[in-house]
Amino acid sequence: MMDADNALSTRPYLIRALYEWCTDNGYTPFIAVQVDDSVRVPQEYVKDGEIVLNVSFDATSALQMGNEFIEFKGRFGGVARDILVPVHRVLAIYARENGQGMAFPVTAVNAVSSTPNVSTETKLGTLAPVARTEGETSDAPRPPNGGRPALTRVK
């Protein structure tokens, strides 16, 4: 019998549940990932140590959302790439169209040393849209306000 110290993390289960919620409602699921050496993504798309990935059925091939890793093939600039994201590196999953989803607390495993005042007890954040960045080239539809959903911590 498992005790609380040896129990599996709830993070992969919540990611899968919110992925299903997004797809069931016709939304596009995105994940925000904190990148380190354990994350296999195209480095040219990493900004400030993070990358946001479209994990919708239309944007991925061979998507597998396991308890330890999220794996799929995705196209970046028209080139198919193998993506591997350890689940503990996922910062949030949300619907691109309205920003609804879940941000995960920063844990000791995925803490960023350059982020001051972030404790392992950080509460879950909410997502709010922000303005489109200059030079953004995505042809994907945008939320009604023209913004791009982004992670905003609310304490």
Identify which of 3, 12, 81, 11 has the alpha carbon closest to the alpha carbon of residue 46: 81
> What per-residue confidence (pLDDT) applies to 8?
82
> What per-residue confidence (pLDDT) applies to 74?
95
- For the chain of 155 residues, list the mean pLDDT of each consecutive stretch of 10: 71 97 97 95 95 96 96 94 96 96 73 36 41 43 51 54
Q: Name the one residue in this structure whose structure tokens are 């999220």.
A: 70
Backbone dihedral angles phi then psi of residue 45, each to the nearest 5 degrees: -100, 0
C-alpha to C-alpha distance for 39 and 29, rounded to whole angstroms = 19
C-alpha to C-alpha distance for 52 and 85, rounded to whole angstroms = 11
| Domain at 11-152: CATH architecture | Roll (2.30)
Give the model confidence (pLDDT) of 45-54 as tens digits. Answer: 999 999 999 9
Three-class SS of residue 71? strand
> What per-residue confidence (pLDDT) applies to 55?
97
Q: Name the one residue in this structure whose structure tokens are 């019998």.
A: 1
CA atoms within 13 A on the CB side of 21: 16
Q: What would the two tokens of residue 154 be?
A: 């609310």
C-alpha to C-alpha distance for 94 and 19, rounded to whole angstroms = 8
Identify which of 105, 150, 102, 108 has the alpha carbon closest to the alpha carbon of residue 123: 105
> What per-residue confidence (pLDDT) applies to 132?
40
> What per-residue confidence (pLDDT) applies to 7?
77
